[in-house]
Amino acid sequence: MQQVAGVKPFGTSPISERTFAELLTPLIEPGLRLAVGMLHDPSAAEDAVQEASFTAWRKLAQIQHQDQLRAWFLGVVANKCRNARRRKWVADVRLGLPEQLSVVSGEERSLRGTDLRRAIARLRHEDRLVVVLYFYLDMPLEDVAVVARSSVGAARARLYRSVQRLRPELAVEEALR
Amino acid sequence: MSLRKQIHSAFDEVAPPAFGVPERVVQTVLAEGPSRRRREGMMLRLRVPLSMVAVFVAIALVVGVLVGGRLMQDWNSFRKPAPAGGGETQLAQLENRPLVLPTPAAYFDCKSGPYNPAGSFGKGPVYGDGGGISSTTWGLYYHNLAYAETDITGPILVRANDIFTHEPVVFVGQYAAGPVAGHDTVDGVAVEQHTELVFDTSQAAKVRSTHKFSWPFIAGVPKTWSQSTGWQIDGVGFSEVFVAC
């Protein structure tokens, strides 16, 4: 009954190490980019991707269609990021912004980047996910919806709402370019 | 600079160079994967009894709340019987209010909102949040939440339409009211589809809610929907409209 981005089993036999490496290696970099966008902490991002890769090792043989693999893996990374942030929140009630990201005086570009990262960090997990996937991983909205496990309409609504929060002065269509 | 470029630039400032990372991650999995799998298998066996305890506790809590709520309701109605027909009259008055929803010409003219500062739909006093989805052969059902932070007297009527197809959004489960529009089976449960939601602050769910009053509800749209819905919430002394595109 539950729909959207369902991953169906296509075989129960375990895959070989070589196949696993061939399938997973190209997914690590986008996974890392997603995790950086979600967590803003390079080492936490790599941890999240590593954990997602362990999950992939256990479950990769259950993926029916290879064309679903990227979306499925990014969904796993997103979940690991959510858990990582929860743990961090419980541990020290921070937003996951490392100290070294503080503003470099006099560099307006860095200041803007820090402000923008901080604003994105304040978005809810689901909103941040669509923003990172759409703007940073340059994924089309249809693929964003699959990773976010929502309808395209819901993903679009989330994106619009997030853009309005990030840049209230921008028209949404202008911001989505 | 476009927002996309700004975001690329902001994240690239903190993104580590990915050189060598994919190979390192994969090699770590291949080296540690089998032993982790064994460890997790042992953990799973330990976790199952704990999770069953948690399930029993959760069930006991839900049953306790339901039974307690019912007893309180019975006690209140025993002590203070409602005036006959009063609530119905108020509801009929709300139902008589015309549905006035925006009519954008095209999808890109459809602007979602208004939102409250927390990012929920609506200007108040009742707000709406989206949630998970269930699907059936008929369409999609959204597990949404309506909530309020202030006392509201009398019934609250919620109606919604597809802005472009003009078909009504249907409601199932608790709080669904009004005419029956059809039948469906959602998550294994046979349900009647209604075209209205009716709730009041005395019926609000208190469990696990951070809001003063909250009403979790399920709204359904057919598969042919335009992905744009207009919502009107009427109560005694207020009427609000919001759009979700």
- What is the tens place of the pLDDT at every residue in A129-156? 999 999 999 999 999 999 998 888 899 9
Nearest to B14 among A4, A53, A101 (CB): A101
CA dist., res. A40 & res. A38, Å (int): 6
Q: If we measure between CA atoms, which residue out of B162, B124, B117 comes closest to residue B240?
A: B124
pTM: 0.46
B154: DSSP letter: S
The predicted pLDDT at position B20 comes to: 83
The predicted pLDDT at position B31 comes to: 85
The alpha-carbon gap from B176 to the nearest alpha carbon of chain A, in Å, equals 21
Nearest to B3 among A49, A50, A163 (CB): A163
pLDDT confidence tier of residue A168, bands split at 50, 70 and 90? confident
Residue to mutate among A81, A160, A162, A174, with most B CBs inside 10 A, is: A160
pLDDT at residue B186 is higher than 80: yes
Chain B residue numbers with beta carbons less than 8 Å from the beta carbon of A153 are 227-228, 245
Instruction: Scan residues 33-72 of A and list those with Cβ closer than 8 Å to B.
Output: 33, 36-37, 40-42, 45-46, 49-50, 53-54, 56-58
pLDDT confidence tier of residue B232, bands split at 50, 70 and 90? very high
Q: Does B2 touch chain A (CB under 8 A)?
A: yes
| Residue B218 β-bridge partners | B143, B172
Task: Kindly report the average pLDDT of chain B as a whole number.
Answer: 81
The predicted pLDDT at position B108 comes to: 66
Q: What's the mean pLDDT in A58-67?
A: 72
Chain B residue numbers with beta carbons less than 8 Å from the beta carbon of A117 are 10-11, 14
Q: Contact at 8 Å (CB) between A68 and A60?
A: no
Q: If we measure between CA atoms, which residue out of A34, A69, A122 comes closest to residue B119?
A: A122
pLDDT at residue A4 is higher than 50: no
Angle made by CA atoms B178, B181, B185, in degrees to the nearest 5: 110
The interface predicted TM-score (ipTM) is 0.74
- What is the tens place of the pLDDT at every residue in B39-76? 555 554 555 566 676 777 777 777 776 766 666 665 55
Cβ-defined contact of A157 to B6 (cutoff 8 Å): no
Out of A70-74, B29-33, B187-191, pick the least confident.
B29-33
